[in-house]
A and B are shown apart, each in its own frame.
Chain A
């Protein structure tokens, strides 16, 4: 199988625009050279991957415009050859590339826009689970509350945003002119998730709620969540605040199990 393996590696290197002797393995015809025939595959490779990226980062595309988005896609395709069988997951490293690679990393709004689009894509097809209800909460015995833990359904994702990227994302979604990018004074937390009706939702949440949610996601129990909330509220206010957060997570269908 060495002959076939070498042929396939040469073909791959040709597609990746690396040194390759692939042309030598291909028949030319009077009307078309081996190289022109191979180029059909070379062009298709780029087009297909660009189509996948464009589908996944529609708003980022709108924000950057065709030319710069095309440069970004070329950069991505070169840096991240596909190791997935499913094109759906080809572009998952885009937020990282935008955060790390010059000149894109000079504009933090770009990586954030990509993170927002990526989170929505994940919420779209994350694993479906049952959701906890207020009735489930009512069955918790008083002595169980202290050790109560919470499981979030798979589509719930917390984002920490340092620019007005969400406002830009919203404007682009509504096909309006986006505002100028600007840095925020303080990071803002957003939660993105999918409800049982299969529609994705998003809302900004306070730092106190975000921290509580994060700790709950890590498996901390209700008593530990209340303790952490003392950084934000008085001892009297804390239990009520924790219950309020819990109720909103349940109403939003974000919790999948109480344990």
Chain B
């Protein structure tokens, strides 16, 4: 498979709007949190439109609740479709999780039991979403802190199988692999080795925090060395994959975050060839996924 490569991006955050609009810093692309722009109008959408003029974008959602046993939220999907028409992103993603049930939202990314019944349930729902949106989506692996007694397969097997059967793509969060490997006592490289390379479309990198025995996916620190090492390993396995850093709390100045992104660029440059790292998609193109 020829995977489109956007280069190296950052999560667009309100704290950085002014800097990005005024200085147009060099970043290959931005990822937006879809729900932040599912509002009627005003400043959020005006800023989004302005920044979109200068940068390619992808959309990342937190509320699709693809694993829920409630019916799919059609109003949410309609709003998402409207936003897609406005942003013309290269692709859209959400998490392999559930966030709401009984029409009540936890506003958290809650894990699923890894078994055949869940796979079939989610495959059906991703297919419905992809049919409705008229495009493929990416699903992302979580950080999780519990494991269910009725899980009977490793997470990567579950993740892969869903992507294969639903014919969707994967957003591989390198930090989440590291966090969950610690919390559930598996080897992070086994996870990377177990993923079908053809399905991987994007990487996330982020920082985390320690809470006793558990690592919590807080997105409030720099990316740590073991996650950079795992990133390098993932590049060796998958080749060039569009990569971005997520920062959601304790957000530094834009320049500092941009500096952190150069680490990803350097690791990729040391691991892959210039030919592999040639950007194959720009902001005039859309709908690569």
Chain A positions within 8 Å of B, measured between CB atoms, are: 1, 3-5, 7-9, 11-12, 15-16, 24-27, 29, 31-32, 34, 37-38, 40-41, 44-45, 48-49, 52, 81-88, 90, 123-129, 154-155, 194, 198
Contacts and interface: CB of A to CB of B under 8 A. Distances in A.
Interface of B: 35-36, 38-46, 63, 65, 68-69, 73, 76, 98-108, 110, 112-113, 117-118, 121, 145-150, 185, 211-214, 216
Contacts, number: 132
Contacts of B39: 86, 88, 125
A33 B69 CA distance: 27
Given A26-B149, A37-B146, A198-B46, A1 B102 contact: no
Given A25-B148, A85-B76, A125 B43 contact: yes
Given A32-B213, A45-B108, A198-B42, A86 B113 contact: no
B249 to A, nearest CB: 9
B102 A27 contact: no
A85 B214 contact: no
A49 B216 contact: no
Contacts of A198: 42-43, 46
A89 to B, nearest CB: 9
20 contacts: A4-B117, A7-B113, A8-B69, A12-B102, A15-B106, A15-B108, A25-B148, A26-B146, A26-B148, A40-B145, A40-B211, A44-B108, A52-B107, A82-B106, A83-B105, A85-B63, A125-B41, A127-B41, A129-B41, A155-B42
B110 A11 contact: yes
Which secondary structure dominates where chain A touches chain B? helix
Contacts of B68: 8
B124 to A, nearest CB: 10
A157 B223 CA distance: 45
A11 B112 CA distance: 11
Nearest to A90: B107
Contacts of A16: 104
A11 B150 CA distance: 14
Given A12-B102, A40-B211, A128 B41 contact: yes
A29 B149 CA distance: 12
Contact of B69 (A4, A26, A48, A128): A4
A126 to B, nearest CB: 6
Contacts of B108: 15, 41, 44-45, 48
Given A9-B102, A125-B43, A25 B149 contact: yes
A25 B101 contact: no
Contacts of B100: 85
B2 to A, nearest CB: 34
B40 A1 contact: no
Contact of B146 (A8, A34, A52, A129): A34
A155 B41 CA distance: 10
Contacts of B113: 4, 7
A4 to B, nearest CB: 5
Contact of B105 (A41, A84, A123): A84
Nearest to B101: A8
B105 A4 contact: no
B180 to A, nearest CB: 13
A145 to B, nearest CB: 31
Contacts of A81: 104-105
B42 A126 contact: yes
A155 B69 CA distance: 37
A3 B107 contact: no
A31 B183 CA distance: 11
Nearest to B148: A25
Contacts of B73: 85
Contacts of A1: 69, 117, 121
B149 A27 contact: yes
Given A4-B113, A128-B45, A25 B102 contact: no
Contacts of A88: 35-36, 39
Given A3-B117, A88-B35, 4 more contacts: A12-B101, A27-B146, A29-B185, A41-B106
Contacts of A7: 113, 148, 150
A38 B108 CA distance: 13
Contacts of A126: 40-42
Given A31-B213, A127-B40, A194-B42, A83 B104 contact: yes
A125 B214 contact: no
Contacts of A38: 146
Contacts of B118: 4
Nearest to A85: B63
B78 to A, nearest CB: 12
Given A4-B117, A4-B118, A82 B104 contact: yes
